[in-house]
Structure 1
Amino acid sequence: MSADLTFREPTEDDHARVLAALGPWWGGLKGEAGAKERALLVPRLYFQHFTPTSRVVERPDGALAAFLIGFVSQTDPATAYIHFVGVDPALHGQGIGRSLYEWFFERVRELGVRKVKCVTSPQNTASRAYHARLGFEVSDVLPDYDGPGLDRVAFTRGLAAGPA
């Protein structure tokens, strides 16, 4: 992984930068409807209220390289949720995504979390394979999970207790 990347807590100003990356980084997955769906999944509130458990990654020139939006469940404090992750396709295979996930696992483990969950669309086969490689259990397709016609695949990964 490139040592010249900066990992930091996101700010509200990062919202527009992340939205601008959603189209090009996902390569038009599911067309215009997919682009709108992705934009609706990343509202400004994540950059206002969930920053301690989220990260943005920047190149030396300040350009966005990657991001992770995640949080601890308010319903079940032993569970955390990774809501959205993106890595510039030009940087795939360099360990940036894995570094973001490992950082998140460690951060939420410190907060008492023992399980991490996330979801993706069934069409996102790269995400499905990636999460399986990271040790997540992968569900079957969950029809209408996020509403009519919005099927999802769910991922769950347990976290071992950290050092006492």
Structure 2
Amino acid sequence: MACWLSARNAHARWARLYSLAVDPVLRGQGWGGRLLAAGEDWMREQGLRVCRAEVKTDNQAARRLYASQGYREAGALPDYYGAGLDGVRLIKQLETKRALRTA
């Protein structure tokens, strides 16, 4: 089982990924990357050009996944998840389908 939850800004061309979860039994099999790619395709179809996400600083597996999919770390978020629970903001520029086809 895998899950993707995002929201879009009605007045801008960006969306925020709120949650991405993969059943522990399925981890390490590429489901996270496939789920991200499917969600990004949907975002592109909606005309969105940027995806933002946040992750706990100590969640190294998630940080590796996002980095492998082209997300860059854009800033520290002190106490984002509560006192002493820091986060990292992630951003990915979404290329258009046309740009992806010619690459």
**Common topology (TM > 0.5):** yes
- Alpha-carbon shift at residue 75 of structure 1 (Å): 4.8
Partner in structure 2 of residue 103 of structure 1: 38
Structure number with bigger Rg = 1
Partner in structure 2 of residue 122 of structure 1: 57
Match of 2:9 among 73, 77, 80: 73
Distance 1:151 1:162 in 2: 35
CA separation of 1:150/1:111 partners in 2, compared to 1, >3 Å: closer, same or farther?
same
Give RMSD over aligned pairs: 2.0
> How high is the sequence identity, in percent, across the aligned residues?
31
Q: What residue identity is the alignment partner of 2:96?
A: A
Partner in structure 2 of residue 87 of structure 1: 22
Distance 2:82 2:26 in 1: 33
- Alpha-carbon shift at residue 149 of structure 1 (Å): 3.7
Q: TM-score, normalised by structure 1?
A: 0.54
* Structure 1: runs of 5 or more not aligned: 1-64
- Name the SS for the 1:123 alignment partner: coil
Distance 1:117 1:89 in 2: 24
Distance 1:142 1:134 in 2: 21
- Alpha-carbon shift at residue 101 of structure 1 (Å): 0.8
- Alpha-carbon shift at residue 144 of structure 1 (Å): 3.0
Number of positions where the alignment pairs a residue of Structure 1 with one of Structure 2? 99
Is the contact between residue 75 and residue 90 of structure 2 (CA under 8 Å) also seen in structure 1? Answer: no
Higher relative contact order (CA closer than 8 Å, sequence separation 6+): 2
Is the contact between residue 51 and residue 94 of structure 2 (CA under 8 Å) also seen in structure 1? Answer: yes
Distance 1:112 1:91 in 2: 31
* Structure 2: runs of 5 or more not aligned: 99-103
Question: Which structure has more strand as a fraction of its residues?
Answer: 2
Is the contact between residue 4 and residue 19 of structure 2 (CA under 8 Å) also seen in structure 1? Answer: yes
